[in-house]
Structure 1
Amino acid sequence: MKRLLFVLIALLAMLQYRLWLGDKSLADSFHLQEQIKLQQQSNAQLVARNQVLREEISDLRSGTEALEERARNELGMVKEGETFFRVVGGERGGVPEN
């Protein structure tokens, strides 16, 4: 009887060790759950960013209006007969100081 009790206690101790301190313990499981949540959030942000980029690509492929707007904003291009003015202002929004 004592031998059986000793075996059961040893088995219980071994299982408790694996549960709390060993590989695939509860602490590891909680840590992995947190990593999964963070990765899912990151994935959601990347999916949203990819969708915006797909829409921009589609817009650029479908018409010249978006292409023209991008050329004007990013490259400073102007149409023939237009005059380009760049207004450089201070903190007051371009209002000249006295």
Structure 2
Amino acid sequence: MVSRIVPVILLALLGALHAQLWLGRGSVPRVNEMQRQIDAQKAANDHARQINARLTSEVHDLKEGLDMVEEKARSELGMVRPNEVYVQFTPR
């Protein structure tokens, strides 16, 4: 009788470990899903870094020179210097 209990206990332990591998907190599907979430977050972070770098460059240009200020005024506010003719083309 003792010789049959040991394999049964070992099989039960193996079943419990296998169930933990596929259904538990650190299961394979959950780890894969978390890896997908990490990859998506890394992509979002890279995109945010690019935007931050562009904005930092723009702020630096605004602090250092008036060329960027003039460009912003022309594009966003429609600034025209004296004796200049403003021409706007619209796509068809």
TM-score by length of 1: 0.82
Q: Which runs of 5+ in 1 are unaligned?
A: 92-98
Unmatched 5+ stretches in structure 2: none
- Stretch moving more, 75-84 or 14-23: 75-84
Deviating above 6 A after TM superposition, structure 1's stretches of 4 or more consecutive aligned residues are none
Percent of aligned pairs with the same amino acid: 34
Structure 2 residue aligned with 1:95 = none
Distance, in Å, in 2 between the alignment partners of 1:85 and 1:33 is: 53
> Are 2:35 and 1:21 aligned?
no
Coordinate RMSD, CA, aligned: 1.5
CA distance in 1, matches of 2:4, 2:65: 86
1:86 is displaced (CA, Å) by 3.4
Identify which of structures 1 and 2 has the higher relative contact order when contacts are C-alpha pairs closer than 8 Å and 6+ apart: 2
| More helix, by proportion | 2
Which residue identity lines up with residue 55 of structure 1 in the other structure? S
